[in-house]
Structure 1
Amino acid sequence: MGEFIIKMPDVGEGVAEAELVEWHVKTGDPVREDMVIAAVMTDKATVEIPSPVNGTVIWLAGEIGDRIAVKAPLVRIETAGETDEAPRVRIAQTPVAETPKVEIAKPVPAAPAPAPAPAPAPVEKSLAAPSVRLFARESGVDLRQVQGSGPAGRILREDVEQFLSLGTTPVPVKGGLARKTATEEIKLTGLRRRIAEKMVLSTSRIPHITYVEEVDMTALEELRVTMNGDRRPDHPKLTVLPFLMRALVKAISEQPEVNATFDDDAGVITRHGAVHIGIATQTPAGLTVPVVRHAEARGIWDCAAEMNRLAEAARSGTATRDELSGSTITISSLGALGGIVSTPVINHPEVAIIGVNKIATRPVWDGTQFVPRKMMNLSSSFDHRIIDGWDAATFVQRVRTLLETPALIFIES
């Protein structure tokens, strides 16, 4: 008998530790070669770690949410013999530039091992990825009722769909109104922790000023409907956002200070010639911001196609690191749920974010009577250290003019 020690992968680029975001096994579980045993996350990537050998798990390093130093022992596996084959590490979400490595101690003769650490609490629950938990919750399915077909009994989306196809649903609670006293503690881990840290950074270091303006979208909506009706089969369906992206490009050409990033530690503002527009996108795991690069060099259809491609990649977890970083200004939109007004948080270290609220038909006075118009509010936030209120208002008013007279968007400067 021998023992393999799998250490926390070295993902390079100065990363000193990674966060445990998922265990696929518990102490005592048998594992087979190439079976995924854990997932860890840095601020650059989520990495799946497979077992390089067949054996039995005899020790796990910690619980979900724990931060483990690079090269520290992560898993100990008891094996029947020696093997020289190196393990492979899978990049699950955002690849890093350098290929991650897993360090393994050479097999050593079995020796009295210390008492195994207790299995982490999350393995006592149904094993499932966050996206599967969200799908189950939205479908009204208790995962404890579902039999998992994945490694170590992990529940896959297909398992939940199979459960639903059998017509099996949770038994409804009978009776009238009753008090509820239960509480649930949820540890902040993975992408949700990253989002929380980014929001704290943005709101604690950036003094926000938010400016709201009403925009008459009637003419643009008529144009959008016409263009969608005449579009080629290979063209995507247009939403409001590609028009807004092109309007931002034209407005930025007149006020380049809005398309900037601010290094507040060094006290340096960088104005960018390229307009890399981040599109805040909701995914099953949380909010991400894929980036449409060089919007200044893209037309309406190209902006729409690239935005759709990136949104799908973000939602499926296949977006690359470059596709999720490097924005110079961000758009935040909740679509039909956009409400009347919002106070978007700037995507640090940028200096501006444009919030899109919902379009609604409202009565507007035209000088002689009230007429129905399709109205939308823009709620935009600016870094008040860099952008004065007057400049913020001037920028938004220019964007408003372009959206209300959409032909201007297509006129070359």
Structure 2
Amino acid sequence: MAVVEVKVPDIGDFKDVEVIEVLVKAGDQIAVDQSLVTVESDKASMEIPSSAAGVVKALRVKLGDKVNEGSVLLELDAAGAADAPPAAEAPSTPAVPAAAEPAQPEASPPVALPPAAVGVGFASEPRHHTPPTAALPVHEPAATTALLPHASPSVRKLARELGVPLAEVKGSGSKGRITAEDVQAFVKAVMSGQTVTQAAAEAGVGAGKGAASLGGLALLPWPKVDFAKFGPVSSQPLSRIKKLSGPNLARNWAMIPHVTQFDEADITELEEFRKSSNERMAKQGVKLTMLAFVMKACVTVLKQMPAFNSSLDESGENLILKDYIHLGFAADTPQGLVVPVLKDVDKKGLAQIAKEMGELAATAREGKLKPSDMQGATFTISSLGGVGGTAFTPIINAPEVAILGLSKSQIKPVWDGAAFQPRLMLPLSLSYDHRVIDGAMAARFTTVLGELLADLRRVLI
């Protein structure tokens, strides 16, 4: 029996990277270049492949371990390689099957990721559309139904969040392994009209020649323009966050019937209270922001109107009401917008909300958010108050059913019954899913929220 130690190869300048996924277990038959673990630094994540083939005799790492170049990952019985079929014919089983993970889209944010969330929603396309006269080519399945597609848990999770059928994705990795780039390429192909999914084809969902299919919608193909003929041009790749969030935003905008309710809240007294409170709390290292007050007020409104704190199930016929309130908030980072999630906001006071929100925002700017930091939001708030603007239409972060946008507050003359008074008004933009929420409900939401912000003592009643 030839026992081989498989070690971490040269991974560049990365030191003490954390093991976030273990993709094999003792007894698994693995092939050369098959992924063994996924490691993550503060800048990137990567899969470590096997340098030899054989049967896993013993694992030498576990989740959370820190490894460097030369660290031993596992012991391999190289003699067992001849006793089992290659991994390309029988994909390895991860230590924790990806299918057992809940399919939770992230963060979306106007946003984020995600960890907050990205997708195009192929899996739940309706099946009652009239077939087009000319269908797009159907993407050929890359694997038979008898075998699972060869992909890591992280790629499987990404595919679930995008609604991508992995069996129809052709892998470009070693031994036909499906990579995250393959999944993203499949999404782009469907959105650009180069292909349709098997489910869409069987349902008669497609479009005329050259059209794109998105959730059963027949869309014109993206225009192909040679911009260079009009003048000098240059090409700049999108950031990773924009590449991931783009398909999600397109899916949400195309498949959710958005309506936006615009309103204003008088925050004159609240702003004075916020400033005076910050003077008292400066020694505690806590800074109260207007967003913290809005979160606290939203908790009260969400409890009064639970439909805004719900999600539609996959059938679209049942509403899932949540007994917890996790609020996502858009955070601007050098890499792009992300949506950290503040958990159990209904159980926290203003100071704790402000403190945890500041910590999450700082972690986001450093690029150190964990996936769990961007998951589970029931309602999202996107604030542009620090930038400007009077109103906007935030895109709903599916599977949520509403999102609140905040713009820059400004002094306006408001009639008090006897004279115009200068009041500080905060613009509110509430986008909602019209399948779940009607206009009257949305108007009541912003009205109640405005009343609470005008006199936050109402939260105590």
1:226-237 paired onto structure 2 within 5 Å: 226-231=276-281, 233-237=283-287
Q: Distance in 2 between matches of 1:292 and 1:353?
A: 15
Between the aligned residues of both structures, percent identity stands at: 33
Matched, 1:104 2:51: yes
Identify which of 211, 214, 222 aligns with 2:261.
211
Kindly provide the CA deviation profile for residues 27-78 of structure 1, in whole angstroms up to 9, marking residues without a partner as x.
xxxxx944159xxxxxxx999xxxxxxxxxxxxxxxxxxxxxxx99699xxx
Tell me the residue number matched to 1:291.
341
Q: Number of residue pairs matched?
A: 270
AA paired with 1:185? S
Query: Which structure 2 residues correspond to residues 43-82 of structure 1 after superposition, within 5 A?
Result: none
Q: CA deviation at 1:364?
A: 1.7
TM-score, normalization: structure 1?
A: 0.59
Aligned partners of 1:241, 1:277: CA distance in 2, in Å? 11
Contact 2:239–2:336 at 8 Å: present in 1 too?
no
Give CA-to-partner distance per residue, 1:257-315, whole Å, 9 cap, x none: 11112234454321111110000111111111000000000100011011101111111
Pair 1:302–1:365, CA change in 2 (3 A): same
- Residue 375 of structure 1, aligned match among 425, 441, 444: 425
Counterpart for residue 268 of structure 1: 318
2:12 corresponds, among 20, 25, 35, to 35
Check conservation: 2:382, 2:404, Cα contact below 8 A.
yes
Q: Deviations over 1:107-153 (max 9, x none)?
A: xxxxxxxxxxxxxxxxxxxxxxxxxxxxxxxxxxxxxxxxxxxxxxx
Match of 2:241 in 1: 191
Report if aligned partners of 2:241, 2:335 keep a CA contact under 8 Å in 1.
Answer: yes
| Corresponding letter in the other structure for 1:315 | R
On the 8 A contact 1:94/1:320 being kept in 2, the answer is no
SS at match of 1:358: coil
What CA distance in whole angstroms lies between the structure 1 residues aligned with 2:363 and 2:248?
21
Q: Kindly provide the amino acid, as one letter, of the partner of residue 333 in structure 2.
A: T
Comparing both structures, which one devotes a greater share of its residues to strand? 1
Matches within 5 A, 1:65-214: 89-92=39-42, 101-105=48-52, 181-188=231-238, 190-214=240-264
Whole-angstrom distance in 2 between the partners of 1:388 and 1:294: 27
Deviation at 1:187, TM superposition (A): 3.6
Pick aligned residue for 2:439 from 375, 380, 389: 389
Task: Give the Å deviation of 1:102.
Answer: 2.7
CA contact (8 A) 1:46 1:92 kept: no
Shift of 1:88: 7.9
Contact 1:208–1:383 (CA<8 Å) still a contact in 2?
A: yes
Aligned to 2:304: 254
Which whole-Å CA distance do the structure 2 matches of 1:349 and 1:290 have between them? 16
Structure 2 stretches lacking a partner, 5+ long = 1-5, 22-30, 54-229
Match of 1:334 among 384, 388, 391: 384
CA contact (8 A) 1:46 1:94 kept: no
Taking structure 1 as reference, are residues 87 and 74 closer, same or farther at Cα in structure 2, changes over 3 Å only?
closer
Q: Give the stretch that moved more between structures: 182-191 or 199-208.
A: 182-191
Gaps of 5+ in 1: 1-5, 10-31, 38-44, 48-70, 76-85, 107-179
